[in-house]
Amino acid sequence: MEGDRIEEVRLVHSPVDEISHLALDIGGSLIKMVYFSTSREQPIDKTQINASRDSHAVSRSSKDGHLLNGRLYFLKFETSKINECLDFISSKQLHYRGLQHCGFPASDKNIIKATGGGAFKFADLFKEKLGISLDKVEEMSSLVSGANFLLKAVPSEAFTYVNGQRNYVQIDHNDLYPYLLVNIGSGVSMIKVDGDGKYERVSGTSVGGGTFWGLGKLLTKCKSFDDLLEMSHQGNNRVIDMLVGDIYGGMDYLKIGLSSTAIASSFGKAVSENRELEEYRPEDVARSLLRMISNNIGQIAYLNALRFGLKKIFFGGFFIRGHAYTMDTISVAVDFWSKGEAKAMFLRHEGFLGALGAFMNYQLVEEFPDTIHLAGEKNRNPLVGDLNDNGVIECCVQARPAVED
Amino acid sequence: MEGTNHLWEMVAILKEDIKKRVEKREESRWCDRLGLQFSGQLHGHCLILVVQQFKGILKREIPQFCCLINLMIYHIWHWILELVYFSRHEDSLCNDKRKKSSEKRFGVINGHRRSFPVLGGRLHFVKFETTKINECLDFIHSKQLHRGDDNNAVIKATGGGAYKFADLFKERLGVSIEKEDEMDCLVAGANFLLKAIRHEAFTHKEGHKEFVQIDHNELYPYLLVNIGSGVSMMKVDGDGKFERVSGTNVGGGTYWGLGKLLTKCKSFDELLEVSQRGDNRAVDMLVGDIYGGLDYSKAISENKEIEDYRPEDISLSLLRMISYNIGQISYLTALQLGIKRIFFGGFFIRGHAYTMDTISFAIQFWSKGGAQAMFLRHEGFLGALGAFMSYEKHGLDDLMISWMEKFVQKGTQITDPVPMASPRTTGLGGFEAPSSKGDTLRSDESNLNVGVLHLVPSLEVFPLLANPKSYEPNTIDLADPNELEYWFTVLSEHIPDLVDKAVASEGGTDDARRRGDAFARAFSAHLARLMEEPAAYGKLGLANLLELREECLREFNFFDAYSTIKQRENEASLAVLPDLLMELDSMSEETRLVTLIEGVLAANIFDWGSRACVDLYHKGTIIEIYRMSRKKMQRPWRHCDILRGAAEAGGLLVDAMINIQEGSKQKPSSTRLMVVENGCGSPCIDLRQVSSELAAAAKDADLVVLEGMGRALHTNYDARFKCDTLKLAMVKNQRLAEKLIRGNIYDCVCRYEPAR
């Protein structure tokens, strides 16, 4: 499946693109890749505004060095199929081609910025197969710089999710900090961000995307994470979760503010019913699992935000993937525990924070807020467009003078 | 002499009383060597108490007596039904009568005495799985628990199942269920336990329990985390004052539900049990695999089916995930509310060491050591206890001191230790996981860790204790593994001898032999259990062990293993008592005092619990041995402090007696000697819980004499009192002699301590 998508990307964007600056986030389950590509062709749908921005950027270039127009590409692979990733890099010659162009410092040759646990694990493999070294970027700092970049540079990046509706939130750059960044990968990290490069991991939980997928796989025989998410969408968690109403004879437990539909015990019904796993629909199981994990993360995140007096909570990481039901449960959990005072916010590029952060580590981009704009159509219709999967952002990057290195 | 006449009177009364007691097969231990030891105190009306090893009659329950069970309560979870019921014993009524007559006889003057209000009895804890609700109904039916005093019983119940099963109860048992609010009950139950039961709360780290004594005044506020199917977190500010502040849907139901689906385990206990053999590294992703350490991720990267994983590993992994999660949310909630104490209860924990360790670890980790998880021994019964408390009529609230817990129950299966490999370090959100270092864990300790709570309404703190709050009865702390092993060996080796004596005391019948063997098995099993997990029954001291042994004997209907011997000895002693008293009276005051102390110490050689002494006994009659040991007394008492103490005590005793004699001229009719029960069930005395009779009588005492190893050495050796104290005992154990006084076996301790 990943292969198909890659194919697609290749077709859409012609091979004449100059590709440079690849960054990887090699996680326990997925490899996320971000790379920059300059395009000789002007984007077809380029608007006036974009053009003027370009000129603005160009005018700045005289001071600071090269300014490049191009696109950021987002790709992902399953970690278990790392060879596909290696083949892709190799086929596109991503690992050294770009650097010879456009005056980028040549010293960067054969080095790729990488983050995530796999950056350690697979370093030898990259060296051996592609002859390149992975320059390890600290995971947490990648996440934070990725998120900071997105929140400042990309309009309509953050949104809330209420009753199935995305509501984009305009983030005031001056009022961005402090915020809580909850990155849901295999596990969950909760990071208090106070500014660029100023952050602290304050909490976390091991119950995250890995738990969802791992348990889900054992419970449903699902072959991929996406299948599992898809299945959960069609499920009904009431089949297997014990609701407050199940316990109290269909009544709400008003004294403590629990409605009869609140989950009293995830998977609690499996206890009292003498049913084998096979007798439950995998969809229902997946849904219960998803709700359990989302709910839990939402709760822990809210408690941590409360602890540090943080008003904004952003959720990211591949677990969410723009998946409506996940976002919905997390939103509900935050809403419930905060009694409506806090809202969960999500990022459109949530899965790529780490990879983007590693990319930022090349220090190509300075003061990015005005230099980035999104590739056309996706920008116009954010409700449809979703960059959680493979996608592109069109942007300008600025090559810094080589002297700095 | 006037004094001597009184003496004769007293001796006659005592003889009669002993005879009656023996006839009634009642405890006769109290009159042990009475004549010899009481001789010094017969001079005046002012109370000089000899705190002897009287066994409380109230506590001596006779199991075959018809029980009157008048209250019961359930807490019905979705999958566990907790049953708490209170049984009252008819013989307590008889006791009251007897007490009245003895009061009359000895003329106890007792202004401050609390009226003996309530029924004594037992609070029983039983649990059932709700899937086996019929077993529960049968149990209730067989015990006739649903028949109250008025044959119109209402059963208080709480928990979700109270709704679900109401009809079933009505139909099968004809009783209606009165539903109590679940949260109210949980909190009331926890408050009760934390106040009434000593060593209820404990911390659990790396397989080790440590009991926490909580000052009642500093109890609130606390966070109560009840882990049932789901998890409720309550902030408790006082009796009936609480708020549900948080909770999570990932709880015991999740563990069992997921576990059932993934492992095919048939019961919660089975699931817990298999987890003990698990290694969660097989399923969880560890730090070594990927930093960031993640649950279940491993299941992703490997193409394995459920069948490829061992149920043990899955169960452990689930258990860890859920425990850790609960610990984390609890800590965050407590932090938010500024609460220091977090108590965990509910059936999920079940005394399971790994669960408790994981929760403790989570709290410790996230609080960076600032907060501690505490657990309750009666964790599974909070709701049921609370519902029980909601019966207004029993008025138990002011009886917080009156509960004693007994672990000896016939029919309680004591299983062999379950060995377990300790889980090693695993990735826990990128952090080290706790490792439970307990060599042996069992899946459900709560059965064994929860005894029957005995309500003895007439217990009080001994009023003369200098510092009741810091008082610790035990001299020997069995937390020291060497001590523990030594005393276990001593007790174990003594079992055959004890069984022989016990069987003989019951006439040596086949029935007695059978019971004797059963006792030996049960007590050995308890010892093995305690060896394996010393804190299983609460904080363990030597006194507790001895008490356990006595309880065990009583449970198998041996009322006093030494009764025949004692009877013989008492008769012999009483026969020579008048002569002895006359001899004493004729002495000068100083000589008399030394003689008295010598007498007490010499008499103290009789100890059927001491192996060394048992061998001596075969050599002659009690009087001969007494004379022999009197001779031994001639040598100086070895301990120098003791010698000095004795000399000082001598002076004081004489002063006291002079004063007494002067006083007696003014009030010639007041009591000269009385015998009261101390309320303790073993040779040791726990002065935190003595009979209110003793408490009242001792209130104005000028001198406390603690006699014998159990009272003066094993317990209370370090206790300080508000009045002068004399501790007298012959040390009949080499190790104890070395440890306490750096002396030898048969050395005598005579410790005098002035009032604090």
Greater confidence, A270 or B108?
A: A270
CB < 8 Å to A271, chain B: 78-79, 229, 253, 256-257, 260, 268
Residue range B576-611, pLDDT digits in tens:
777 777 777 787 777 777 777 777 776 666 655 555
Task: Tell whether the model's pLDDT for residue B304 goes beyond 70.
Answer: no
CB < 8 Å to A213, chain B: 296-297, 299-300
Please give the pLDDT value at position A300.
92
Confidence of residue B396 (pLDDT cuts 50, 70, 90): very low
Q: How far is A187 from chain B (nearest CA, A)?
A: 5
Q: At what angle do helices A209-220 and A282-308 cross, to 10 degrees?
A: 170
Contact A218 B329 (CB under 8 A): no
**B312-326, B334-348, B599-613 — which is least confidently predicted?**
B599-613
Ranges A32-36, B11-15, B703-707, most confident:
A32-36
Task: Tell whether the model's pLDDT for residue B663 goes beyond 50.
Answer: no
Domains (range + CATH), chain B:
196-297+308-375 (3.30.420.40)
Confidence of residue B642 (pLDDT cuts 50, 70, 90): very low
**A248-262, B96-110, B123-137, B534-548 — which is least confidently predicted?**
B96-110
Q: How far is A26 from chain B (nearest CA, A)?
A: 10
Please give the pLDDT value at position B413.
35
How many whole angstroms separate alpha carbon A215 and alpha carbon B283?
10
How many whole angstroms separate alpha carbon B156 and alpha carbon B161?
12
Task: Tell whether the model's pLDDT for residue B361 goes beyond 50.
Answer: yes
Which residues on neighbouring strands pair with residue B68, listed in sequence order? B88
Please give the pLDDT value at position B107.
26
Task: Collapse the DSSP code of B612 into the 3-class scheme (helix H, G, I; strand E, B; otherwise coil) and give the result.
Answer: helix
Q: Are B60 and B675 in contact (CB under 8 A)?
A: no
Report the residue of B261, B267, B287 to disrupt the A interface, i.e. the one with the largest count of A CBs within 10 Å: B261
Residues near A257 by beta carbon (within 8 Å), at least 6 away in sequence? B244
Mean pLDDT (whole number) for B426-452: 36
How far is CA A233 from each of CA A287, A390, B300, rounded to the nearest angstrom?
A: 7, 21, 20
Sequence letter at residue B244: R
How many whole angstroms separate alpha carbon A321 and alpha carbon A296?
17
Please give the pLDDT value at position B160.
63
Residues near A100 by beta carbon (within 8 Å), at least 6 away in sequence? A106, A109
Please give the pLDDT value at position B705.
79
Task: Tell whether the model's pLDDT for residue A296 goes beyond 60.
Answer: yes
Greater confidence, B447 or B421?
A: B447
Mean pLDDT (whole number) for B631-637: 51
Contact B257 A266 (CB under 8 A): yes
Candidates B571, B548, B535, B613; CA nearest to B28 is: B571
Contact B248 A296 (CB under 8 A): yes
Contact B290 A28 (CB under 8 A): yes
Q: How far is A312 from chain B (nearest CA, A)?
A: 18
Tokens of B684: 């040791």
ipTM surpassing 0.85: no
Q: How far is A316 from chain B (nearest CA, A)?
A: 16
Residue range A80-121, pLDDT digits in tens:
888 888 888 887 765 554 444 444 444 445 788 898 878 888
Confidence of residue B77 (pLDDT cuts 50, 70, 90): very low
Residues near A10 by beta carbon (within 8 Å), at least 6 away in sequence? none
Please give the pLDDT value at position B235.
93
Task: Tell whether the model's pLDDT for residue B22 goes beyond 50.
Answer: no
Residues near A243 by beta carbon (within 8 Å), at least 6 away in sequence? A260, A261, A262, A263, A264
- Which chain B residues in 258-317 lie under 8 Å from chain A, judged by CB atoms? 258, 260-262, 264, 268, 283-285, 289-301, 305-306, 309, 314
Task: Collapse the DSSP code of B331 into the 3-class scheme (helix H, G, I; strand E, B; otherwise coil) and give the result.
Answer: helix
Residue whose pair of structure tokens reads 């008769």 in the numeric block: B571
Please give the pLDDT value at position B695.
78
**B117-121, B188-192, B299-303 — which is least confidently predicted?**
B117-121
Please give the pLDDT value at position B89.
47
Please give the pLDDT value at position A199.
93
Please give the pLDDT value at position B222.
92
Confidence of residue B393 (pLDDT cuts 50, 70, 90): very low
- CA B296 to chain CA centroid, nearest Å: 43
Task: Tell whether the model's pLDDT for residue B302 goes beyond 80.
Answer: no
Task: Tell whether the model's pLDDT for residue A131 goes beyond 70.
Answer: yes
Confidence of residue A370 (pLDDT cuts 50, 70, 90): very low
Which residues on neighbouring strands pair with residue B751, listed in sequence order? B727
Phi, psi (rounded to 5 degrees) for B139: -60, -45
Q: Are B419 and B439 in contact (CB under 8 A)?
A: yes
Contact B164 A249 (CB under 8 A): yes
Greater confidence, A157 or B444?
A: A157
Query: What does the DSSP 8-state code read for residue B673?
Result: -
Please give the pLDDT value at position B15.
55
Contact A211 B250 (CB under 8 A): no
Confidence of residue A164 (pLDDT cuts 50, 70, 90): confident
| CB proximity A262 to B under 8 Å | yes
Handedness of CA B105, B110, B115, B119 (dihedral sign): negative
Please give the pLDDT value at position A15.
40
How many whole angstroms separate alpha carbon B215 and alpha carbon B203?
16
Task: Tell whether the model's pLDDT for residue B292 goes beyond 50.
Answer: no
| CB proximity A74 to B under 8 Å | no
Please give the pLDDT value at position B186.
83
| CB proximity A271 to B under 8 Å | yes
Residue range A315-331, pLDDT digits in tens:
987 788 767 778 888 89
Q: Are A64 and A368 in contact (CB under 8 A)?
A: no
CB < 8 Å to B292, chain A: 28, 117, 139, 185-187, 189
**A59-68, A122-131, B55-64, B131-140 — which is least confidently predicted?**
B55-64
Please give the pLDDT value at position B628.
63
Please give the pLDDT value at position B349.
81
Greater confidence, B432 or A349?
A: A349
CB < 8 Å to B290, chain A: 27-28, 117-118, 121, 186
Task: Tell whether the model's pLDDT for residue B205 goes beyond 50.
Answer: yes
In A29-125 the beta strands, taken as DSSP E runs, fall at: 30-38, 66-78, 111-115
Please give the pLDDT value at position B116.
35
**A34-48, A132-146, B560-574 — which is least confidently predicted?**
A34-48
**What's the mean pLDDT when you consider all of chain B?**
65
Between the two ends of chain B, the Cα-to-Cα distance in Å is: 36
CB < 8 Å to B232, chain A: 256
Please give the pLDDT value at position A55.
32
Contact A80 B314 (CB under 8 A): no
Ranges A109-118, A254-263, A293-302, B187-196, most confident:
A293-302
Confidence of residue B440 (pLDDT cuts 50, 70, 90): very low
CB < 8 Å to B249, chain A: 241, 262-266, 292, 295
Residue range B544-584, pLDDT digits in tens:
788 788 877 877 777 777 777 767 766 776 777 777 777 77
Confidence of residue B665 (pLDDT cuts 50, 70, 90): very low
Please give the pLDDT value at position B224.
92
How many whole angstroms separate alpha carbon B628 and alpha carbon B622?
10
Closest Cα in chain A to B337: A307
Please give the pLDDT value at position B638.
42
CB < 8 Å to B129, chain A: none
Tokens of B345: 């209860």
How many whole angstroms separate alpha carbon B469 and alpha carbon B333?
32
Please give the pLDDT value at position A209.
83
Ranges B102-106, B717-721, B743-747, most confident:
B717-721
| Among B254, B291, B298, beta carbon nearest to A268 | B254
Confidence of residue B195 (pLDDT cuts 50, 70, 90): confident
Contact B300 A306 (CB under 8 A): no
Please give the pLDDT value at position A395.
52
Confidence of residue A178 (pLDDT cuts 50, 70, 90): very high
Candidates A390, A293, A392, A385; CA nearest to A31 is: A390
Candidates A82, A202, A1; CA nearest to B366 is: A202
Burial of residue B666 (number of CB atoms within 10 Å: 0-12, 13-18, 19+): exposed
| CB proximity A280 to B under 8 Å | yes
